[in-house]
Structure 1
Amino acid sequence: MPGNFRAPPLDHFVVTTNSPTRRGAVLTLAGALLSLSACGTAGSTANAPKETSAPAPATAAPTAYPLTIENCGRKLTFDKAPSRVLLLNGTSVAEVESFVALGIQDRITANSQSYGVSDDPSLVAKVKAVPTGGLTLNDNFEVPREQVLALKPDLVISTWAGGFDDKIGSITRDQLTQAGIASYVTPVNCGNGDPTASPADQQKFKEQSVESSNELLLQLGQIFDVQQRAADLVNGTRAEIDRIGQRVADQPKKNVLVVYPGMAMMNSNGLPAVFAGGMYDDIVARAGGVNSFAGRTTAELAEINAEALASAKVDLLVVGLFQESEKADALAQELFAKFPQWEASKNKKYTSVSDSFYLGPLNALAVKKIADAAHGNP
């Protein structure tokens, strides 16, 4: 996400250590995404992502400690690279996959994030190999404060600001500070789950994009002194997405519907969860498409009914996979039969994505898969 799947977001995600049944996981994910706007669609009214100038190439230099950064209005100072990191769940895999991509998973003492499927199949085993620290999540699928303190981490990371809310049994950032433990929120989600967040952080959350994933990689690179690796990853992602953009620039834009059938609990009508807004719209746009429900808020997406789906313009169906047992072809054929009026149904045109569609290091894979399906594979 899943925080948009935070990734909620959506950035991406509750098949966790000692995970409960799939139904329980989906219910928790649904609640998290609907209330938190996983990837940041809440309040969005735009019908298409904003046009922005291309960022300057990422550069790298060794980290000079002590390093002080600002995170959600707080000053964090690191005297050295953290070596005992605890990753909170937050229905995300953005953080653990970013650590793996940067080659710093050995700094993780306990990880509570996992997903079970990935658009990069090698990541499933790599994430599974990251230590869990024997964590047992509470009813809110978060790490209880007692377990956090018992693990004696030097850094606790949450994918969203609400992950440090004591109302869900989590430890607060102030409590961590009192214990001499640093805390960090993925930058784009500082406005996610914190009603006191600055207007700038709230707006940033609403407007997240592929660059939000890059920002996380670059800042982790700085904190852990792997800035060259982070810069290479980000520049590679940008270059790949730029190549795809140039390839599809002169092609007619396709209407793209993105649904996650395994997350039907997110829809009040029991239909497949429709993903739109924020990063989701950005990824589709970069692939030469227009999200069929672009700019809709999380609340609006939750209320989509069969009539709205039937009348939507759909040239390409994108099936999101949530569990390893789900089969994209079967799910697509089921939807084609239910909504034969779609252009995609007439042409049997679909593709699938999983974690690459959320906040995290794999966004270029989602752009490529959608672009190839919509416009052809060169």
Structure 2
Amino acid sequence: MLLPRFATLCTGLGLCALAQAAPTQYPLTVENCGSTLTFQQAPSRAVTIGQAGTEMLYAMGLSDRLVGTSLWFNDVLGRYKTENDKVPRLADNEPSFEAVIGKRPQLVAVELEWMVGPQGAVGTREQFHELQIPTYLMPSDCEAKDNLVGADGTRLEAFRIDSLYKSVSQLAAIFDVQARGEKLNAELKASLAKSIAMVQNKDLKHTSALFWFSSASLDIDPYVAGHKGIPDFMLNTLGVRNVVQSDEEWPTVGWETIAKANPTFLVIARMDRRRFPADDHEKKLAFLRSDPVTRNMDAVKNNRIIILDAMAMQASLRMFDGLETLATAINGYDLPK
């Protein structure tokens, strides 16, 4: 979990000077995913398309700037429920272009480029920028990634955790809350170090895993995590091998192929959305334990199945909680040598 008290973090890591962060000097220019954004002042009205950005702004105390949210995989974190209840939800999935601009935002923060991009489900960046509405894309989804190849894009390089810290820092600068951004990044880095420490004495050189996000139908190939994306970063960070080698973000892979790879453990997504039947993690579990191919996998027979919130598999604050959950589970397994 993220550290609850900054005072403890400040003492332990010598970060008390963070409170002295300099204020933003406007006009502020931000280079973001191929676009140059200029802000004359901190936005007072923002819309988020993506839960990751929404909870990031909540974590920096910016809920009063949000006039609309959309694209949710899980319910909001409990610590942000009061704030979230006051913010209109434009859509559980992608909102319409009209719904977004109808809120007269001074910033649209976007988690995934396939929502706002060259083939955006909501619209293109040009459509928003023509209306003088800047769109901020999370660097984790647009840097070193081709979102025009594959259903959810293809990684040209492995996901870098610095891209997530960059989002926090840039959004903090845009909203003139740099001290809050630095505090949040320090907490995230401390959480990451804690998870790594939990498994540092575990022999994991023969350990492998598979992340199962969802499936359009339970009787077809599942959407699993590619080997350069966020789940792969999580596994590599803990010293575990991903059995999937595709560069696609979420490729489909047949269960026969997965069973042949025989991962040591499985990680399945829990989500509150219900776009596909397999969004329900209980249906995932029932399938794994009943299908003639999957039920004979070592991970299923030995109940080495870890359930994570879908947002913990995204470039989000929840990824750090997900890493701690993974580390705790792995540390408790009696793993094969």
**TM-score, with structure 2 as normaliser:** 0.76
Runs of 4+ in 1 over 6 A off after TM superposition: 202-205, 324-327
Retained in 2: the 8 A contact 1:209–1:283?
Answer: no
Partner amino acid for 2:107? L
Out of 327, 332, 352, the residue aligned to residue 307 of structure 2 is: 352
Out of 106, 113, 121, the residue aligned to residue 71 of structure 2 is: 113
Equivalent position of 1:87 in the other structure: 48
Retained in 1: the 8 A contact 2:52–2:315?
Answer: yes
Partner amino acid for 1:316? F
Equivalent position of 2:226 in the other structure: 276
Is the partner of 1:163 in helix, strand or coil? coil
Give unmatched runs, 5+ long, in structure 2: 1-14
Q: Distance in 1 between matches of 2:31 and 2:246?
A: 31
Q: Distance in 2 between matches of 1:287 and 1:129?
A: 38
Cα separation, partners in 2 of 1:144 and 1:333, compared to 1, 3 Å = closer
Where in structure 2 are the equivalents of 1:1-378 lying within 5 Å?
Answer: 60-88=21-49, 92-117=50-75, 120-123=77-80, 126-132=83-89, 135=90, 142-165=94-117, 170-190=122-142, 206-253=157-204, 254-260=207-213, 263-265=214-216, 270-277=220-227, 278-293=229-244, 295-298=245-248, 301-302=251-252, 304-323=253-272, 328=281, 331-332=284-285, 334-338=287-291, 339-354=294-309, 355-376=311-332
237-246 or 98-107: bigger deviation = 237-246
Equivalent position of 2:11 in the other structure: none
**TM-score, with structure 1 as normaliser:** 0.69
Higher fraction of strand: 2
How far residue 84 of structure 1 moved from its aligned partner, in angstroms, is 0.9
Retained in 1: the 8 A contact 2:54–2:69?
Answer: yes
Q: Distance in 2 between matches of 1:131 and 1:300?
A: 30
Aligned length: 301
Cα separation, partners in 2 of 1:327 and 1:73, compared to 1, 3 Å = closer
Cα separation, partners in 2 of 1:365 and 1:207, compared to 1, 3 Å = same
CA shift digits 1:63-91 (9 cap, x unpaired): 22221111123222212110111223xxx
Cα separation, partners in 2 of 1:324 and 1:115, compared to 1, 3 Å = closer
Is the partner of 2:29 in helix, strand or coil? strand
CA shift digits 1:255-309 (9 cap, x unpaired): 122213xx21188x6244222321110112223322222x32338831x212112
Partner amino acid for 1:218? S
How far residue 188 of structure 1 moved from its aligned partner, in angstroms, is 2.7
Partner amino acid for 1:225? D
Q: Distance in 2 between matches of 1:188 and 1:111?
A: 19
Partner amino acid for 1:110? G
Retained in 2: the 8 A contact 1:97–1:127?
Answer: no
Retained in 1: the 8 A contact 2:264–2:298?
Answer: yes
Q: Distance in 1 between matches of 2:200 and 2:283?
A: 32
Retained in 1: the 8 A contact 2:28–2:40?
Answer: yes
How far residue 327 of structure 1 moved from its aligned partner, in angstroms, is 6.8
Q: Distance in 2 between matches of 1:166 and 1:241?
A: 34
RMSD: 3.3
Retained in 2: the 8 A contact 1:93–1:113?
Answer: yes
CA shift digits 1:315-354 (9 cap, x unpaired): 2221211237977567436414432443322321222101
Equivalent position of 1:44 in the other structure: none
Q: Distance in 2 between matches of 1:353 and 1:136?
A: 23
Q: Distance in 1 between matches of 2:325 and 2:91?
A: 36
How far residue 215 of structure 1 moved from its aligned partner, in angstroms, is 1.8
Q: Distance in 2 between matches of 1:187 and 1:219?
A: 10
Q: Distance in 1 between matches of 2:221 and 2:141?
A: 27
Cα separation, partners in 2 of 1:290 and 1:204, compared to 1, 3 Å = closer
How far residue 206 of structure 1 moved from its aligned partner, in angstroms, is 4.1
How far residue 121 of structure 1 moved from its aligned partner, in angstroms, is 4.2
How far residue 165 of structure 1 moved from its aligned partner, in angstroms, is 4.7
Q: Distance in 1 between matches of 2:211 and 2:221?
A: 12
Retained in 2: the 8 A contact 1:72–1:185?
Answer: yes
Is the partner of 1:320 in helix, strand or coil? strand
Cα separation, partners in 2 of 1:240 and 1:150, compared to 1, 3 Å = closer
Equivalent position of 2:7 in the other structure: none
Structure with greater contact order relative to length (CA < 8 Å, sep ≥ 6): 1
